[in-house]
Amino acid sequence: MKVFRPDSRLNGAVFLTVVLVVSAGCIGFSGDDSEPHSEIPTTDNSITQTEIQSPKRTATGSPKSTEIEENEFVVSGQEFNELVESGLAIHRTKFVDSQAYPNNTVDVSIGMYSNTNQYADGSLRSSVMDVTQSVATAVAVRTTPEMDMAMNNGTDGLLYEPEEITVHVYSTEDKYVGEFEINPNLARAYMDRQFSSSAFADHVLSSFASERDVLQGDQAPSWYLNTSQLRNWEIVYINEVAKLSDPDNHGYNRALSTAGLSFNPEKFTIRHEIQNWDADDMGQYATSAEATIYGSYWRATARSWSLPPKRILVYIHVNDKDDLRGYMDRKHVYELLSAGQMNQTTLTRYQQSAETKFVEDED
């Protein structure tokens, strides 16, 4: 199977980049309430031409230093592609192959998957957004646009931010479908919550050059991008729930069930539902389970590389008692994580920020 096309690598359109000034600790979003949003809402999620310009790079030195830099670009690009591959491992989209070049650009090839369920419907948009999420995460957490801070010259082990990222797409029958580009500067801005998933997803798909008709997908591009983010975050969350409700270390007779987890890509929320809670059997009343869920929410947010859900909703059906229903918003997680230290005061404020009530059994 032919993976890379030289003409697309040499003659591809120059991909424009955005320069954004991000203040330290900024956690705002732009967009509507259906996805990552800003505390100061904006009505325009578009990326205008005036916002886009070429990034400033450190000038290279002698021919010898240029050769060293080019070798580093290849090594950095290879490591970057390995990060993308590992990120795709939890998705159904297949990582096929990759290549890194001395000019600090990379190519990645992916294969679409067969239809499995509503969250993985085998569509082009689903596969494109899976790799987009993986690439954006790798850019945000493991690369730097500062040329003098990457690889051997840096102190934090960061890779070079690629100049261009081109993705080649193959069908489930290994037929070439087309290619698209992911702007690394825009990927970083998206992960820094400078504009919505809708704006980023639409921008990525606008670069797609199609050579074969395939299933496009019934949902908006941002729906698939949010699904990929939530699926990644959910894995860390499940692990945190298991640790915090481990019977060997806590008062539970068995670990809290995560079988009732579900997420809403449109609203960018996650729901944790527990059925048939019995205080005698579980060893804790439902409020303790709720506290464990909220604790897992902020721990997963701190430890996952993925964007966290806007809100976690809790529903616990309690046998012979009123059910418990509540929620915790992401903004309170950030308040806790930005507090500098976690003590009884900050944890109490976090717990009190939850909205909880007991309700009669209902659908």
Where do the domains of the chain lie? 6-219, 235-359
Residues in Cβ contact with 103 at an 8 Å cutoff, skipping those fewer than 6 apart: 70, 73, 163
Q: What averages of pLDDT result for each successive group of 10 residues across the chain (363 residues)?
A: 41 30 28 35 33 34 57 94 95 95 96 80 93 97 90 77 97 95 97 94 96 92 96 96 87 86 96 86 74 92 95 90 88 83 72 66 42
- Which parts of the chain fold into alpha helices (H)? 6-11, 63-88, 124-142, 184-191, 197-206, 221-244, 279-282, 286-303, 330-337, 344-352
Q: Which CATH class is domain 235-359?
A: alpha beta
**Helix, strand or coil, per DSSP, at residue 318:** strand
Which 8-state DSSP code applies to residue 152?
A: G
Q: State residue 3's pLDDT score.
A: 47
Q: State residue 178's pLDDT score.
A: 97
pTM of the model: 0.79
Burial status of residue 16 (CB atoms within 10 A of its CB: 0-12, 13-18, 19 or more): middle
Q: State residue 15's pLDDT score.
A: 30
Which 8-state DSSP code applies to residue 256?
A: P
Give the span between the Cα atoms of 96 and 293, in whole angstroms: 37
Q: State residue 10's pLDDT score.
A: 33
Q: State residue 192's pLDDT score.
A: 94
Residue 330, number of CB atoms within 10 A of its CB = 22
Residue 321, number of CB atoms within 10 A of its CB = 15
Q: State residue 281's pLDDT score.
A: 64
Q: State residue 239's pLDDT score.
A: 97
Q: State residue 361's pLDDT score.
A: 44
Q: State residue 300's pLDDT score.
A: 96
